[in-house]
Chain A
Amino acid sequence: MSNLLVLPILIPLCTAVILIFFKEKIRLQRGISAFSGVLNILIAGILVARVHAGGIQTLQMGGWAPPYGIVFVGDMFAVLLVTMASVVSFAILLYSFHSIGEKRERFYYYTFFQFLLVGVYGSFLTGDIFNLFVFFEVMLISSYALISIGGTRLQLRETSKYLLINIVSSTLFVAAVAYLYAAVGTLNMAHLSQRISEAGQGGVLNVIAVLFLIVFSLKAGLFLFFWLPGSYSAPPAAVRALFGALLTKVGLYAIIRTFTLLFVNDLGFTQSWIAWMAAVTMILGGLGAVAYKDIPRILNYNVIISVGFVAFGLAAGTRDALDGTVFYLLHDMLAKGLMFILGGMIISAAGTDRLNSMGGMIKKYPLIGWMFFILTLALVGIPPLSGFAGKVLIIRGALDTGMLTLSLIGLGSSFLVLYSLIKVFRQAFWGNEPENDQPQVNLKWASAVAGGLLVLVIAMGIGAEFVFTYVSQAGEVLASPVQYIEAVMKE
C-alpha cells in the first residue's frame, strides 16, 4: 500500500479545478500550473525511488483487496513513464506561456491541459482495464477541447474527424471489455492474467486480443494512423507537442501492457500481428515523412515512424528488446516533445509552415538551427545521444529471434527520419532568405525551454548506463508478468 500513487492523478485534478475559478487572471493561472508541474515531477521522482528500492507499489482504493476493489499499480514501467510525462509536459507548459496566445489562455487552456495530464497519468497507473477506459476518456475529452480551442475553420473540421474516430474506437473498447468480462469474469489486470492463463487463451480470447489490439492501435497510431497527420496538424504548436509526446505513447503503453501481461499464452499469434503492423507503420510513416513539404505533417509522420518502432520492439519480445522498448519510449517522449517545440519555433520565426517559402534562418537564429540538428541526430540514433541505446537493444533482441526483415525495415526507417528532418533543416536554415523579409521574433524564452529539454536528451544518452538500471527493472516486470501478478494479488 502506498498512498503516494494517487498523487500524480490528484495534483493535476485539483489544479484543474482551481484554475477554473481564475479565468481572467492569466498570470495567476500560469503560476499555479507551473507550481503543480514542479510538484508532479517531485512526486514522480519519489515514486521512482520507492519502486526502485521496494519493488512494485500498489494502492487499493478503500482497502478493498483485489480482485474486488479498484487498484492502482505502480511498477517501474508505469512510474518511469509518469516521470517522463511530467517532465515533458512541464516543458511544454513553459513553452506555451509565450506561444499559445492570450485568447486561448482565457478559454481554459491550462485547465484542459491539467485534465489531459490526469488522463495520461491515470492510464499509466491504473491496474484495472475498465479504469483504463475511463482514464482514456478523460484524456480524450480534454484533447478534443484542446484541438478545437480557438475555433479556426481548420480546427473545427479536423476536430470533427478526430472526435468521430475516437468515439468509434472507444465504443469498440467497451465492446472488447464486455467480451473479456463475459469470457473470464474479471477486469483486474493481474487477475485477468491469471484467469487467461488458466483458460489457455483459445480462439475466443485471441479474437478479444485482436479487438484490443485494434482499439489501442487506433489510439496509438499503429497501422491505423490515417486520422493522425491531419488532426495533429490543426492545433497550435504547444498542443501539437503535447499530443505528439504523450497521447500516442499512452496508446502504446496500453498495447505493451496488454500484450506483455494479459495475452501472453499465444505469443506466436499476437506478436506476428504486431510485427506486421509495426513494419507497415514504419514504411508508410517514412513515406509520409519524406513526401510532405509542410512542417507539421513531416513531424507528425515522424511520430508515426517511432510508434512503429516501439511496436517492433514489443513484437521482438525478448528481454533485451523489452528493455529497449522501455528505453526508446522514454527517449521518444522527450525527443518528440522537443521536436514539436522546435518545429513551432521555426514556424513562428518564419511566419509560415511551408518549407518552400523558408530559408536562410541560420543567420538570424543560429541557436535554433543547431538545436534542431542535434535533435535530428538524437532521433536517428547517433551515439552518444538518447535514441541510440534503445535502438541498439531493440535491434539486438530482434536479431536474436531471427526477425531480419523487420530489423532492416527498422534501420531503414531511421534513414527516412534522417532524410525528412535534414530536409527541414536544409530548407529552413540554409539557402537564401525569402524575398518578403520577416521581422525578427523574440524566441529567448522558447529557446531556453528547448535548450533545457535538449540537455536532458544529451544527458539521457550519456548517462544511458544510469538510466538503464531503472529501465531494466521495468523490462524485468514486462518479461515476467508473474512479478506483477504477485505484487497485486498478494495478501
Chain B
Amino acid sequence: MELVMAVAVGILFTIGVYLILSKSLLRIVLGTSLLTHGVHLLLMTMAGLKKGSAPVLGKSDSYVDPLPQALILTSIVISFGVTAFYFVLAYRSYQALGTDEIDSIKEDKE
C-alpha cells in the first residue's frame, strides 16, 4: 500500500511541477494545488498506513497514529486558503493586465 501511495505522490509532484513551469497563470494555480495534494499524501504515507483502529480510548489495543491526520487537516485548510487567494489574484491580474500569460506581463513602472 505504501508503495502505491509513493507512486501516487510522485505522479502528483510531476504533474504539479510540469504545470507550474507553464506560461498560463491558471495552469500555475492548478499546479500548486496538485503539488500541495502530493505533499499531503506524503505526510500520510510517512506515518505508515492502516495499523489499527480509530484513535478512541478503550476501543482496541492498537491505534492509528492520529497526529499526521491532524497535520494534514491543518495543511489542507491552509492550502485551500492560499489557492483561493491565488485564484482571486489571477482573476484580478487577468482583468487589470488583460492577459493570463506570465511572459506577456510587461515591465512597466507606475
Contacts and interface: CB of A to CB of B under 8 A. Distances in A.
Interface stretch (A30-38, A153-161, A216-224, A371-379): A153-161
Given A153-B96, A167-B32, A187-B67, A160 B47 contact: no
A157 B32 contact: no
Interface stretch (A58-66, A95-103, A144-152, A436-444): A144-152
A137 B78 contact: yes
Interface in A166-204: 167-168, 170-171, 174-175, 177-179, 181-182, 187
A144 B90 CA distance: 13
A178 B90 CA distance: 30
Given A156-B89, A160-B25, A160-B89, A167 B82 contact: yes
A170 to B, nearest CB: 8
A455 interface: no
Given A156-B93, A178-B43, A182-B47, A163 B74 contact: no
A242 to B, nearest CB: 19
B89 A175 contact: no
A482 interface: no
Contact of B105 (A157, A163, A168, A171): A157
Interface string B5-21: 00000000000000010
A174 B32 contact: no
Interface in A72-123: none
A231 to B, nearest CB: 13
A153 B28 CA distance: 19
B68 A181 contact: yes
Given A178-B46, A181-B46, A182-B47, A154 B68 contact: no
Main secondary structure of the interface of B (DSSP, over half): helix
Contacts of A153: 96-97, 105, 108, 110
B35 A171 contact: yes
Nearest to B32: A167
B47 A167 contact: no
Contacts of A163: 82, 85-86, 89
B50 interface: no
A182 B68 CA distance: 10
A155 to B, nearest CB: 9
A207 to B, nearest CB: 14
Nearest to A68: B67
B49 interface: no
A157 B97 contact: yes
A181 B102 CA distance: 37
A160 B20 contact: no
Contacts of B36: 167, 171, 174
A130 B71 contact: yes
Given A148-B89, A153-B110, A160 B102 contact: yes
Given A157-B97, A160-B90, A163-B86, 15 more contacts: A144-B85, A153-B96, A154-B110, A156-B93, A160-B89, A163-B82, A164-B28, A170-B78, A171-B39, A174-B36, A178-B39, A178-B46, A178-B68, A181-B47, A187-B67
Interface of A: 130, 133-134, 137, 141, 144-145, 148, 151-154, 156-157, 159-160, 163-164, 167-168, 170-171, 174-175, 177-179, 181-182, 187
Interface of B: 20, 25, 28, 32, 35-36, 38-40, 42-43, 46-47, 67-68, 71, 74-75, 78, 81-82, 85-86, 89-90, 92-93, 96-97, 102, 105, 108-110
Q: Which 3 A-B pairs have the closest CB atoms?
A: A182-B46, A178-B43, A178-B46
30 contacts: A137-B78, A141-B81, A141-B82, A144-B89, A151-B92, A152-B110, A153-B108, A153-B110, A154-B109, A154-B110, A156-B92, A156-B96, A157-B93, A159-B89, A160-B93, A160-B102, A163-B82, A163-B86, A164-B32, A167-B32, A167-B82, A167-B86, A171-B32, A175-B42, A175-B43, A177-B71, A178-B46, A181-B68, A181-B71, A182-B46
